[in-house]
Amino acid sequence: MIPVKLKKLKDQFEDHNIDGYVIPKNDEFFSEFSNKDRLNFITGFSGSAGLAVILKNKNYLFVDGRYTLQAKIQSGKKFKIIDFSKIINVDLFQNLTLGVDPKLFTSFQIKNFFLKKNKIKLIEENLIDNIFKSRFRVSKPFYYLDKNVTGESHLKKIDRVTKYLNRNKLNHIFITAPENVAWLLNIRGHDNPTSPIPNSYLILSNKKDIFLITDKEKSIKLIKQKRFKKLQIIELNKISTFLKTFKSNRILIDEKTCNIHLEDILNKRFEIIKKEDPIYLMKSIKNKIEINNMINAHIIDGVALTKFIYWLKKLNKKR
């Protein structure tokens, strides 16, 4: 018997004229710890990486080698489990029309994985959200890291990026990887349980104009500390309206991190230049303070692991 939630999902296929629907693990920030764990809801699989393809009569779940056994236990009764390595050349879904949420996929993914063999239909409403009421984790405000922690002020980092924009005759860069926003602005957040990633986007001009796109309550501390002005904070749910009125000519996006929804909005108004976000290279070269902090972090981690192993051995001897 088909589970109620799967039936409710499949009942929507006819309305959208699709043969199936693709559900990734990630959210619009491509985090493995999504506020809305749609994949877990529809499949029962709780691992940190995976992708489901739900067809009218069949259900598939792709996971990597870490989760093969777990996926079979949690989802094997209703889903065929397939190793993620086969997703590039898989022929299971040829000549089908698959629905996707454009906020959860990039054009790079569509072009380079199995989706390229199918007709993809972008559906602005998320079909899982129509049947899934999630409990959002309450996130604390973003916070700022001083220069003695990062080794370089955010102003100097911004200067480096704007010099790159001017060298390449670009008006703006649209930074869609939250970890790169974190590095550039020296900010951190509480949006992920195991890393201080601040879920946000950033627009930076070659004249150093900045717009941080996030939930306003997360920017409270930054505004109080005068790191940002209120006008520089754009609400996430108003990003489409903001981009439609935004003025620019040549704007750089990274097609591996910018979702299709945002790319389509930009493409209608500006000349998009697709290149890898230059911040990836900049932040890969560590300064002295960063190197020392990494060494200290490894020492702390090593001590903690040694204590745990010692405790475990003592516990085993008592048995």
**pLDDT score, position 115:** 60
Give buried/exposed letters for 118-152 (b at 16+ CB in 10 A, else e): bebeebeebbbeebbeeeeeebebbbeeeeeebbe
Q: Which residue has the higher pLDDT, 32 or 143?
A: 143
Task: Provide the token pair at 300.
Answer: 């702390």
**Is residue 55 within 8 Å of residue 96, measured between CB atoms?**
yes
pLDDT tens for 100-136 read: 999 999 999 888 775 655 688 999 999 999 998 776 6
Summary count for the chain: helices (H), strands (E): 13, 14
Number of neighbouring beta carbons within 10 Å of residue 77: 9
pLDDT tens for 197-252 read: 999 999 999 999 999 999 989 999 999 998 888 889 999 889 888 987 888 889 99
pLDDT tens for 160-208 read: 999 999 999 999 999 999 999 999 999 999 988 888 999 999 999 999 9
Task: Provide the token pair at 101.
Answer: 């949420």
Q: Which residue has the tokens 């529809």?
A: 42
**pLDDT score, position 141:** 94
Q: Which residue has the higher pLDDT, 182 or 86?
A: 182
> The whole model's pTM is what?
0.90
- How far apart (Å, rounded) are the C-alpha atoms in residues 314 and 303? 17
